[in-house]
Chains A and B, each alone.
Chain A
Amino acid sequence: MTLAELARPAQDYSYAFLDEFAKREVRRRILKAIAIPGHQVPYASRELPIARGWGTGGLQVTLSIAGPHDIVKVIDQGADDSVNAVNLRRFIARMTGVATTSDAQLATIIQSRHRITEERLREGQVLVLQVPDPEPLRAVEPNISLAREMHADADYALMWLGLYEQVVRFGTFMTGASYPVVVHQRYLMSPSPIPRWDTPMLHQAAHLTLLSAGREKRLYAVPPYTDVRPIEFEDVFFQVENQQGRICEQSGAVNKFMNEIPQPDGSMCYQASDTGYVEKLVRRARGEPVAIGATYYDDDGTFYHPGYLKEQEPDHR
């Protein structure tokens, strides 16, 4: 008998690329993050065959939780077909053997950058958001040790001072993407650079959201059915981007988050940013049988948790 025969068969990579210990560590961190909603948990971010800053945080989470029976959807700014999304999806499928889809209803794991799907996610689904900068206090407290102290004390006064300044100077809140939220009445959290439109989708959601920053080596979570509140005043309210009057030129969708596409004649046309959703609307219009789930915002633009978004009376200064 030779040594080669006794040894385990040669293998290029472990299942899901990361070795078992790395995946186990990430899963333990995820459990901790779920136990302390919105709290940033450090983890040993591993090297991957893509550069830091290109979704390595989200990828490590997806690789750590995926099994061969999962169905994975990968989106980048709402699109399933961008180079980044395609690359990540191919890598995940090759390393784990999962099936892939562009249908948010069929996926068990959805890894995304900058968007949440328009269709409501349900219990059992996991949304993995890629995070470039996990620290919501960075804008007001550049010193990271002091920022941690502020999290420990739940001392978020400086965020409201920032809101005060915005209202005084501009009459409204100016933060666009990454609008800070308070999770479970405790931790201030960056929801990753999703538009304000998507922020309310995290509130009392049926699905689990995992957020992971590969470069900054932090991950955090919003467990199912958890309160998520954007920071606002009791008399000046958080507002989502106004999508009224915009019609998706491909699918006819209304009151969904739209990309603006400038036309040669200077006018603007609109396309719903969630391409998986658009694709299903188009197929249904062609008469194909497709199951389209309920959306977070209905066609009148009403959010599915009544009263969560409040109308602002004009001029509160």
Chain B
Amino acid sequence: MTSLAFDLPRLLTTAPLLRARRLTKHYGAIPAVAGVDLDVYPGEVLGIVGESGSGKSTILRLLNLEEAPDTGDYTLTIDGYRGRNLFTLDRYDRRALRVRHIGIVYQNPLHGLRMHITSSGNVAERLIMAGERRFATLRNAARDALDASEFPLARMDDIPRRLSGGMQQRVQLAKAIALQPMVLLLDEPTTGLDVSVQALVLDTLKRIQRELHVATIIVSHDLGVIRTLADRVLVMRHGRVVEHGLTDQVLDDPQDAYTQQLVAAKL
């Protein structure tokens, strides 16, 4: 029994950090997410692909506790939250959890940033929300996080409105990682960027993900992005998971008819 445990693959011996069961969310009659289960292990990257409207962003909004689901269980193996369905947290606990443990990068920087606040202020906000009240500490932490996101520090006090799309995404990323979260949610973080910029931002994401060893979910249309970053992948359609598995397996040898179409179209 004990000797066997040593031989089991990592994913079987470690408990998932993030576990969601039967996630369901309707908008009126539209089933945006219809009974999705997912696990993410510490340090792992889970990719979510699927056509437009398949419910990818909705899943991230649910996991970021921005919206309440119709039904579903959501647990994180984090001290103080173990075993609690996070969808039942009150406003106060929810805020504390999000500030401390969940980082998110949106496709549209307008959702993730305050456009009239300096870039460093956008990052510092996260520490302020966590209760930091020393200016020097805020300043240094903002600088460090921006630096880790490979943001040009000479522009740290520019407002996001004056920055390029790639730089805005780096500010979002810096804000997401400023407190070293346990969970990182990325919603099409490179869509809309020039191809060359996209590659640079992807490099940064990859490096940070490795360094922080953070459980990550990345949503993307772009199978290239998924192949570069994700260990495992979920394929979604009409709010349901149609296929999931290791990234190479799913992308090289898709079993589901819809996945086959998707892979054939994109590659």
Which A residues form the contact surface with B (CB < 8 A)?
Answer: 149, 153, 155, 157, 160-161, 163-165, 167-169, 233-236, 316-317
A235-B129 in contact (CB<8A)? no
A169-B136 in contact (CB<8A)? no
B120-A168 in contact (CB<8A)? yes
A164-B134 in contact (CB<8A)? no
Q: Which of under 10, 10 to 19, 20 to 34, or 35 or more describes the interface residues of B?
A: 10 to 19
Report B97 CB to chain A, min CB distance, Å.
14
B262 interface residue (CB < 8 Å to A): no
B133 interface residue (CB < 8 Å to A): yes
Interface residues of B in 124-146 (CB under 8 A from A): 124-125, 128-129, 133-136, 138-139
A235-B95 in contact (CB<8A)? no
A233-B135 in contact (CB<8A)? yes
A165-B118 in contact (CB<8A)? yes
B92 interface residue (CB < 8 Å to A): yes
B95-A164 in contact (CB<8A)? no
Report B29 CB to chain A, min CB distance, Å.
29
B109 interface residue (CB < 8 Å to A): no
Interface residues of B in 10-54 (CB under 8 A from A): none
Q: Which of A161, A235, A236 lies in contact with B121, CB distance below 8 A?
A: A161
Main secondary structure of the interface of A (DSSP, over half): helix
B128-A168 in contact (CB<8A)? no
* Chain A residues within an 8 Å CB radius of B157: 168-169
Bound Cα distance from A236 to B135, whole angstroms: 7
B117-A165 in contact (CB<8A)? yes
B266 interface residue (CB < 8 Å to A): no
B117-A161 in contact (CB<8A)? yes
Bound Cα distance from A235 to B132, whole angstroms: 11
B125-A161 in contact (CB<8A)? yes
Bound Cα distance from A155 to B93, whole angstroms: 12
Query: Total contacts A to B, CB within 8 angstroms?
Result: 45
Bound Cα distance from A216 to B95, whole angstroms: 30
B111 interface residue (CB < 8 Å to A): no
A155-B125 in contact (CB<8A)? no
* Chain A residues within an 8 Å CB radius of B118: 165, 168-169
B117-A235 in contact (CB<8A)? no
Which B residues form the contact surface with A (CB < 8 A)?
Answer: 91-92, 95, 117-118, 120-121, 124-125, 128-129, 133-136, 138-139, 157
B121-A316 in contact (CB<8A)? no
Bound Cα distance from A163 to B118, whole angstroms: 12
* Chain B residues within an 8 Å CB radius of A155: 95
* Chain B residues within an 8 Å CB radius of A169: 118, 157
B121-A157 in contact (CB<8A)? no
Report A160 CB to chain B, min CB distance, Å.
5
Bound Cα distance from A169 to B138, whole angstroms: 15
* Chain A residues within an 8 Å CB radius of B128: 157, 160-161, 164
Report B237 CB to chain A, min CB distance, Å.
37
The 7 closest A-B pairs by CB, nearest first: A233-B135, A157-B129, A236-B135, A157-B128, A234-B134, A160-B128, A235-B134
Report B26 CB to chain A, min CB distance, Å.
26
**What are 8 A-B pairs at a CB distance below 8 A?**
A149-B91, A157-B129, A161-B124, A163-B135, A164-B121, A169-B118, A234-B135, A235-B136
* Chain A residues within an 8 Å CB radius of B135: 163-164, 167, 233-236, 316
Given A233-B133, A233-B135, A316-B135, CB of A164 within 8 Å of CB of B124? yes
A153-B125 in contact (CB<8A)? no
A316-B124 in contact (CB<8A)? no
Bound Cα distance from A295 to B129, whole angstroms: 39
Q: Which of B91, B121, B139 lies in contact with A153, CB distance below 8 A?
A: B91
Q: Which A residue sits closest to B122, measured CB to CB?
A: A161
* Chain B residues within an 8 Å CB radius of A160: 128, 133
Q: Which B residue sits closest to A233, measured CB to CB?
A: B135
* Chain B residues within an 8 Å CB radius of A234: 133-135
Q: Which of A165, A233, A317 lies in contact with B134, CB distance below 8 A?
A: A233
* Chain A residues within an 8 Å CB radius of B92: 153
Given A164-B138, A169-B118, A234-B133, CB of A153 within 8 Å of CB of B95? yes
Report B131 CB to chain A, min CB distance, Å.
8
Q: Which A residue sits closest to B159, measured CB to CB?
A: A165
* Chain A residues within an 8 Å CB radius of B121: 161, 164-165, 168
Report A154 CB to chain B, min CB distance, Å.
9
* Chain B residues within an 8 Å CB radius of A168: 118, 120-121, 139, 157
Report B177 CB to chain A, min CB distance, Å.
18
Given A153-B95, A165-B118, A168-B118, 16 further pairs, Cβ under 8 A: A160-B128, A160-B133, A163-B135, A164-B138, A165-B117, A167-B135, A168-B121, A168-B157, A169-B157, A233-B133, A233-B134, A234-B133, A234-B134, A235-B134, A235-B135, A316-B136
